[in-house]
Amino acid sequence: MIKVSNLYHSYNKDEHYAVKDVSFEVEEGEIFGFLGPSGAGKSTTQNIMTGLLQLQKGNVTVAGYDVKTISNKMFNQIGMSFEESNVYSKLSAKENLEFYRKLFDVETRDPMELLRLVGLHDKADIRAGEFSKGMKHRLTFARSMINNPTLWFLDEPTTGLDPAIASEIKGIIREQNKKGVTIFLTTHNMYIADELCDRVAFIVDGELLLIDSPRNLKLQYGDKLVEVEYIKEGETIKESFSTIQKEDLDKLQEVIGKYEIQTMHTKEATLEEIFIKVTGRELV
C-alpha cells in the first residue's frame, strides 16, 4: 500500500535533513504505527506521502501512485485526519462535511452518519467555530472518512480527547481496519500504538531505527523488569531494573544488599520503555 525508499528531505535544501534515508513498506490491511518524539520527522514523512510537501530525494509510492507525478485521483482513495483540526469555522459541522463530499469522484458517506459516529450528531447545525477543541478534532477525524478511504492517515487521532471519546475513536479505527482499510498512524502515544498497531516504526532525528510488531519487540527487548521501591538516606526511591542486562542485575543486587526494600514487583516492559531503551530518548 505504501512503499518508501531512501527518502531524504531538507526544508532549507541543505545538509540539515529533517528526514534521512528513511525506507519502509506498509502492507495492505495493516495498522502501521509511526512513532517518535517531537521533531523526529513524522509529519514531514507523512506530508511527503500525501503530496503536501514536494518529494526531494528518494522514491515514494502510495496506493499505487508514484508521488513524483501525483494525481488528484490518488486522493479518492486517501483519507487524512490532521493533528491540528482544520475545518471551516464559519460553516456548520454538517456544511463542512457536505462541502468536502463534493470534492471526490467516488461514493461518499452520509455526513449525518459520520457525525453520529463521532458523537456530534446533535451539533450538526452549529458552526464549527463555536466548537471546543475536542469537538473540532472529532469533526476533522470524521471528515477524513468521508470518501471511504482505503488508505487512512491518522495524525495523533486521540490526542486531547477525553478517555471515553478516545476509546470510541479507537473502536472506530479498529472497525475500519476490519473492513480492510490500511492505516498509517502517527503518534507519540505508545499505549495507543501498542493497542492498535500490527507493526510500529521508531523514528528519531529523522532516522528510522527499527520496524517490528509490538509483540516481537516485547519478546526481544521486553525482558522482565523488576520494579523496586527502597529507602536511601531517608528518601523513598523507585527504580526499574532489567533482569537480563548484566549492568542492571549488578545494580539490583547492590540495592538489595545495601538498602531497606519496601516493595518489589516484576512487570512486563511497556512499548514506551522499549522505545527509550532502543533509542536512548524519551518520548516527549
Strand order in the sheet with 19-26: 19-26, 2-9, 57-62, 65-66
85/156 Cα distance (integer angstroms): 11
SS3 label, residue 239: strand
Closest separation in Å from C-beta 73 to another protein: 6
Q: Does 208 bind another protein (CB under 8 A)?
A: no
Residue 25 vs 95, nearer CB to another protein: 95
Q: Does 18 bind ligand ATP (CB under 6 A)?
A: yes
Q: Does 80 bind another protein (CB under 8 A)?
A: yes
Residue 119 vs 160, nearer CB to ligand ATP: 160
Closest separation in Å from C-beta 223 to Mg ion: 32
Q: Does 11 bind ligand ATP (CB under 6 A)?
A: yes
Pairing of the two strands 2-9 and 19-26: antiparallel
With CB under 5 A as the contact rule, the residue among 2, 9, 36, 43 that binds Mg ion is: 43
Closest separation in Å from C-beta 162 to Mg ion: 22
Longest pairwise C-alpha distance within the chain: 71
Q: Does 133 bind another protein (CB under 8 A)?
A: no
Strand ranges, E, within the chain = 2-9, 19-26, 31-35, 57-62, 65-66, 78-81, 151-155, 182-187, 199-204, 207-212, 225-232, 235-242, 260-267
Residue span binding ligand ATP (CB under 6 A) among the ranges 33-41, 69-77, 137-145, 235-243: 33-41
Number of C-beta neighbours around residue 245 at 10 A: 13
Number of C-beta neighbours around residue 196 at 10 A: 23
Residue span binding another protein (CB under 8 A) among the ranges 48-56, 170-178, 217-225, 273-281: 48-56
Nearest Cα to 145, choosing from 80, 210, 201?
A: 80
User: Cell triple for residue 140?
Assistant: 476533522
Binding string, residues 36-75; x marks residues near ligand ATP by CB under 6 A: x-xxxxxxx-------------------------------
List of residues contacting Mg ion (CB under 5 A):
43
List of residues contacting another protein (CB under 8 A):
11, 47, 50-54, 72-73, 75-76, 78, 80, 82, 84-91, 95, 99-100, 102-106, 140, 143, 147
